[in-house]
């Protein structure tokens, strides 16, 4: 129940009263995504690590005092957040780093980290009496909005590129969402969604444009810090499409630093697919968010395919301010990472999530991570989301006639 102090443009720093603007900065337009800021001094007096640790709420709502909701807000019922963090010694050995952890956000109710954003956005929509929420998505944000909405009896309108994996589209329909398959790119679906939301008076959850998705996603950093006993790893690695997750991770650590609950922020490393890597390029070439040009995004990791990263300003800032890096990985490296992560940790990750592990390898090669360091990897989505790519990442099982001798022969091959 944190009261919002102000909204501030991530580009020009213009400040707005909490209800002065709904989406992005009036001066900067869409690139000027807004930060939600609080009165940290007041928060320091009213919340404490000890109180938090004694909470028996094992969802993201355990952090409600650090989230932008009114005191009478109805919180959504699905169990989002507090996903497990696993120590991954075999993965650390494979990578050649001191320690590694994976946080399995595929354990969220609809199978990805996006549930964190949708839970908060839907809770705010209900608080404001909004009837229809809408989003464009490559799949997971849509599934999250559809599932969280279903849990409170709402039916969202969702714009999906027609190329999204079928399992993801089925998930939306099962939850009762109204789905429009756009015969075009994610970027086109995104713009259409925003335009139609404004015409219809729907609340737009679109990543980046909506300042509250980051506030939901920041809880993943809160959890990581709390679950590791407030001992912050050297590096946190996350895959990046629009840049909203890495922005959320950054915001979470910034909030904790402001509260005095942690003493430093880890370096943040963002991983993009080679075929969708405008942030890698901008970071290397020192290009500002405002000057970035759209690219034609193409990667098998549909969840990180974004030609115009909508939260590019905050994503670049997250990496630049924390002395982190952006790296890119090929689709082959992503595919190979799926079974490796699964076999070294037991966590089955979708391509976009496994990309983070592939990115750690590249970051080590490029000297962005040292052997003495501790690395946390966010696994952002569940492997069951995209079985077709998972099948491509492994061989075929052995076949056998249904008798003992044949089975033993098949097993010895």
Ligand X SMILES: *Cc1c(COP(=O)(O)O)cnc(C)c1O
Residues that bind ligand X (CB under 6 A): 112, 114, 140, 207, 239-245, 303-304, 350, 352-353, 380-381
Half-sphere exposure of 349 (CA within 13 A, CB side): 35
- What's the min distance (Å) between Cβ of 230 and ligand X? 25
- What's the min distance (Å) between Cβ of 309 and Zn ion? 17
Half-sphere exposure of 212 (CA within 13 A, CB side): 22
Instruction: Verify binding: residue 12, Zn ion, rule CB under 5 A.
Output: yes
Using CA of residue 139, residue 301, residue 249, residue 208, what is the dihedral sign? negative
Instruction: Verify binding: residue 41, Zn ion, rule CB under 5 A.
Output: no
Instruction: Verify binding: residue 9, Zn ion, rule CB under 5 A.
Output: yes
Give every CB contact of residue 75 below 8 A, 6+ residues apart in sequence.
61, 64, 69, 119, 123
Length of the chain: 413
- What's the min distance (Å) between Cβ of 358 and ligand X? 13
Rounded CA separation 67/69 (Å): 6
Instruction: Verify binding: residue 323, Zn ion, rule CB under 5 A.
Output: no
- What's the min distance (Å) between Cβ of 96 and ligand X? 25
- What's the min distance (Å) between Cβ of 81 and ligand X? 15
- The answer to whether 100 touches 374, Cβ cutoff 8 Å, is yes
> Quick one: which of 28, 240, 358, 375 contacts Zn ion (CB under 5 A)?
28
Say which entry of Zn ion, ligand X, none residue 140 contacts (CB below 5 to 8 A, set by partner kind).
ligand X
Rounded CA separation 39/42 (Å): 5
Comparison of 2 and 316: residue with beta carbon closer to Zn ion: 316
Say which entry of ligand X, Zn ion, none residue 28 contacts (CB below 5 to 8 A, set by partner kind).
Zn ion
Comparison of 179 and 349: residue with beta carbon closer to ligand X: 349
- What's the min distance (Å) between Cβ of 144 and ligand X? 8
Comparison of 126 and 355: residue with beta carbon closer to ligand X: 355
Give every CB contact of residue 188 below 8 A, 6+ residues apart in sequence.
161, 182
Say which entry of ligand X, Zn ion, none residue 2 contacts (CB below 5 to 8 A, set by partner kind).
none
- What's the min distance (Å) between Cβ of 204 and ligand X? 16
Say which entry of Zn ion, ligand X, none residue 114 contacts (CB below 5 to 8 A, set by partner kind).
ligand X
Comparison of 9 and 69: residue with beta carbon closer to Zn ion: 9
Comparison of 265 and 352: residue with beta carbon closer to ligand X: 352
Q: What angle do CA 31, 26, 144 make, to 5 degrees?
A: 55
> Quick one: which of 32, 208, 233, 252 contacts Zn ion (CB under 5 A)?
32
Using CA of residue 205, residue 119, residue 249, residue 3, what is the dihedral sign? positive
Using CA of residue 85, residue 87, residue 92, residue 94, what is the dihedral sign? negative
Burial 82-119 (b: 16+ CB within 10 A, else e): bbebbebeebbebbebebbbbbbbbbbbbbbbbbbbbb
Rounded CA separation 28/43 (Å): 30
Contacting residues toward Zn ion, per CB under 5 A: 9, 11-12, 14, 25, 27-28, 32
């Amino acid at each position: 129940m944190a009261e919002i102090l102000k909204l501030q443009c991530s580009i020009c720093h213009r400040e707005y009263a909490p209800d002065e603007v709904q989406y992005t900065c009036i001066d900067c337009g869409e690139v000027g995504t807004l930060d939600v800021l609080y009165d940290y001094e007041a928060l320091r007096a009213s919340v404490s690590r000890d109180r938090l640790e004694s909470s028996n709420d094992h969802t993201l709502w355990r952090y409600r005092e650090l989230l932008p909701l009114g005191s009478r807000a109805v919180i959504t019922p699905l169990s989002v957040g507090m996903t497990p963090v696993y120590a991954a010694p075999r993965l650390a050995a494979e990578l050649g780093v001191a320690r590694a952890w994976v946080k399995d956000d595929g354990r969220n109710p609809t199978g990805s980290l996006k549930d964190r954003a949708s839970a908060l956005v839907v809770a705010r929509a209900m608080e404001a009496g909004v009837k229809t929420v809408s989003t464009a998505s490559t799949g997971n944000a849509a599934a999250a909005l559809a599932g969280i909405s279903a849990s409170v009896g709402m039916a969202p309108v969702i714009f999906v590129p027609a190329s999204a994996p079928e399992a993801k589209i089925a998930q939306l329909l099962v939850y009762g969402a109204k789905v429009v398959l756009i015969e075009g790119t994610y970027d086109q679906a995104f713009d259409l969604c925003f335009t139609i939301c404004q015409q219809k008076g729907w609340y737009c959850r679109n990543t980046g444009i909506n300042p509250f998705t980051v506030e939901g996603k920041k809880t993943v950093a809160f959890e990581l810090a709390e679950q590791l006993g407030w001992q912050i790893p050297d590096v946190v690695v996350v895959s990046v499409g629009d840049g909203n997750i890495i922005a959320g991770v950054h915001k979470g650590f910034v909030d904790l630093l402001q509260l005095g609950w942690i003493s430093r922020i880890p370096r943040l490393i963002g991983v993009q697919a080679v075929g969708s890597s405008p942030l890698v390029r901008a970071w290397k070439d020192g290009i500002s968010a405002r000057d970035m040009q759209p690219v034609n995004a193409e990667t098998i990791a549909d969840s990180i395919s974004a030609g115009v990263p909508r939260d590019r300003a905050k994503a670049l800032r997250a990496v630049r301010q924390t002395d982190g890096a952006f790296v890119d990985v090929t689709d082959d490296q992503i595919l190979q990472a799926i079974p490796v992560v699964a076999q070294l940790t037991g966590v089955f990750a979708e391509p976009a999530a496994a990309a983070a592990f592939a990115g750690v390898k590249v970051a080590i090669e490029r000297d962005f991570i040292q052997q003495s360091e501790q690395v946390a990897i966010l696994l952002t989505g569940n492997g069951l989301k995209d079985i077709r790519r998972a099948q491509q990442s492994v061989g075929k099982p052995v076949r056998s006639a249904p008798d003992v001798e044949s089975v033993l022969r098949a097993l010895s091959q």
